């Protein structure tokens, strides 16, 4: 069994599409390792890497290729060459693709050359490449955009090193402005495949060649296809705070996309309506407010289906809510499980719904990132004052209401905690961002009742909170 682990670290200097200018320098490092000497060789790793190299060359990337690297030094030399070509490159775009074995030891991820044969933990740093080496190189490159794709086995090919025998690679701290994609959800494994390519990579190659798909759309389509073809056994996982557009294959639509995004008429009409700031589902005409040229929905998102049409499960009981937390699956609920709360406050979602690869937000939208929340709050006076301008005039208690000067109409919709208890409706407002703060938690914005402050806090992912969408 070969499992896929994809990380895409996107270091962004602008929210505009940077891939549409053919004069921008693009560099890729492609690494494929199959011929392992101490463990069974992989079936598709080198095929995947070579096919990625061909596609990237066709997209204008200058590609550095390394196959069956024998030692840690061979891998380091490739990373350094890649770094040197990108360092100080300004608007340069970089992409690093690795396909081969990977292993986690006590929370540290390693990439494996062909001769690796660690017998004790101390051998890992001597024989294998610590993934932090790559992440530091990306941070220091100082170019506009870096895409990092790792396609590696999650199950250790070597014997257990004590307590470090957890299934899969661990989460890593990607550079700021990251777009993270796993080809299967954390803790799961995926088939190596029986054809030339693994399931995930075969779909990735397909959609990299599809015109007018930005990077987010590419991976959402890949995720949907993989989930369907595997009978939901392999479900890719996406987490991102990237807010711009990058097109591997620009087309006529994407060349004018930034201008067209300011036109509200792009959203298709729907029988759903808006009431008291609640945004309809899935693509109803919605009210928006502008923040530095970026459009936000004026109401809490209220959808019951993902962007691909799949139904989002409702947690109708405490047991339903707790089960979703244990299984790390998406769910929504009404406050107090009372349908009457939908019209006044919308729905509460756990964070697994927020970052589900099928897309919680309607087509053309995304869930607000941590950095977008920061930008919004700064634009309306900062964390100590913005609450007044962002809060709705109604639904809050007497001293908690705002003036809604912004048009956001932030509602005190309350939360649902890990135990399934509902608290603070009419008192506080809490809004998820789509940005993870740790393996166990994610960032959110907290609007307290009795002040104009807005706090940036971190919460367990199984909490239920309101959600706001931003136009792509």
For residues 110-131, average pLDDT: 91
- pLDDT tens by residue, 151-203: 776 555 665 554 334 455 666 655 654 566 777 665 555 566 667 888 888 89
85 Cβ neighbours under 8 A, 6+ residues apart: 27, 62, 64
* Residue 248 CA: distances (Å) to CA of 22, 56, 222, 252, 253: 11, 9, 14, 13, 13
Pairing type for strands 108-111 and 90-105 reads: antiparallel
Structure tokens, 445: 């914005």
Task: Identify whether the C-beta of residue 226 lies closer than 8 Å to the C-beta of residue 203.
Answer: yes
What pLDDT sits at residue 75?
97
What pLDDT sits at residue 241?
57
pLDDT at 284 over 60: no
Helix axes of 131-141 and 72-86: crossing angle, nearest 10 degrees? 10
Average model confidence (pLDDT) for the chain? 79
Task: Identify whether the C-beta of residue 412 lies closer than 8 Å to the C-beta of residue 422.
Answer: no
Q: What percent of the chain has pLDDT over 90?
A: 33
* Residue 23 CA: distances (Å) to CA of 52, 83, 209, 215, 254: 22, 20, 20, 20, 17
CA 443, CA 53: separation in Å to the nearest integer?
Answer: 36
7 Cβ neighbours under 8 A, 6+ residues apart: 148, 149, 150, 172, 174, 180, 181, 182
Domain boundaries, the chain: 7-253, 278-471
CA atoms within 13 A on the CB side of 96: 25
What pLDDT sits at residue 322?
94
What pLDDT sits at residue 116?
92
pTM of the model: 0.52
- Collapsing DSSP to helix, strand or coil, 258 comes out as helix
- pLDDT tens by residue, 404-437: 888 888 988 899 999 999 988 888 899 999 999 8
Helix axes of 199-208 and 215-229: crossing angle, nearest 10 degrees? 140
Is domain 7-253 in CATH 3.40.50.20, yes or no? no
Mean pLDDT comparison of 61-75, 148-162, 343-357, 404-418, highest-scoring range: 61-75
What pLDDT sits at residue 244?
64
What pLDDT sits at residue 444?
95
CA 30, CA 48: separation in Å to the nearest integer?
Answer: 10
Task: Identify whether the C-beta of residue 111 lies closer than 8 Å to the C-beta of residue 53.
Answer: no
| CA nearest to 30, candidates 84, 77, 67, 70 | 67
What pLDDT sits at residue 29?
95
């Amino acid at each position: 069994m070969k499992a896929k682990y994809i990380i895409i670290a996107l270091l962004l200097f602008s929210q505009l599409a940077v891939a549409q200018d053919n004069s921008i320098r693009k560099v890729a490092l492609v690494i494929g390792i199959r011929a392992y000497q101490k463990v069974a060789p992989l079936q598709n790793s080198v095929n995947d890497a070579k096919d990625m190299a061909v596609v990237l060359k066709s997209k204008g990337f200058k590609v550095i290729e390394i196959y069956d690297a024998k030692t840690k030094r061979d891998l380091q030399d490739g990373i350094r060459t890649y770094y040197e070509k990108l360092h100080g490159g300004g608007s340069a775009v970089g992409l690093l693709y690795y396909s081969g074995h990977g292993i986690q030891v006590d929370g540290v991820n390693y990439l494996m050359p062909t001769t690796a044969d660690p017998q004790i933990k101390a051998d890992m740093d001597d024989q294998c490449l610590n993934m932090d080496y790559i992440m530091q190189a990306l941070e220091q490159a100082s170019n506009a955009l870096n895409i990092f794709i790792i396609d590696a086995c999650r199950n250790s090919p070597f014997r257990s090193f004590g307590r470090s025998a957890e299934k899969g690679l661990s989460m890593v701290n990607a550079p700021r402005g990251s777009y993270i994609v796993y080809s299967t959800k954390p803790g799961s494994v995926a088939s190596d495949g029986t054809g030339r390519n693994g399931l995930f990579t075969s779909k990735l190659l397909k959609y990299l060649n599809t015109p007018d798909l930005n990077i987010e759309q590419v991976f959402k389509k890949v995720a949907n296809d993989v989930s369907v073809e595997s009978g939901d056994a392999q479900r890719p996982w996406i987490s991102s705070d990237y807010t711009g557009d990058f097109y591997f294959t620009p087309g006529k639509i994407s060349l004018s996309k930034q201008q067209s995004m300011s036109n509200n008429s792009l959203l298709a009409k729907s029988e759903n309506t808006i009431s008291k700031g609640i945004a309809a589902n899935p693509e109803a005409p919605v009210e928006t407010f502008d923040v530095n040229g970026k459009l936000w929905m004026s109401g809490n998102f209220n959808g019951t289906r993902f962007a691909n049409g799949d139904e989002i499960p409702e947690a109708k009981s405490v047991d339903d809510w707790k089960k979703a937390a244990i299984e790390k699956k998406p769910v929504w609920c009404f406050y107090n499980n009372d349908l009457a709360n939908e019209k006044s406050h919308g729905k509460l979602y756990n964070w697994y719904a927020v970052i589900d690869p099928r897309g919680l937000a309607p087509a053309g939208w995304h869930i607000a990132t941590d950095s977008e929340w920061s930008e919004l709050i700064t634009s309306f006076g900062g964390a100590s004052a913005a609450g007044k301008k962002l809060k709705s005039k109604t639904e809050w208690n007497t001293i908690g209401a705002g003036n809604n000067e912004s048009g956001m109409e932030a509602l005190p919709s309350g939360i649902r905690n890990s135990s399934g208890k509902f608290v603070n409706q009419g008192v506080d407002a809490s809004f998820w961002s789509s940005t993870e703060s740790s393996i166990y938690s994610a960032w959110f914005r907290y609007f307290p009742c009795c002040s104009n402050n807005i706090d940036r806090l971190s919460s367990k992912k199984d909490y239920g909170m309101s959600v706001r969408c931003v136009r792509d």
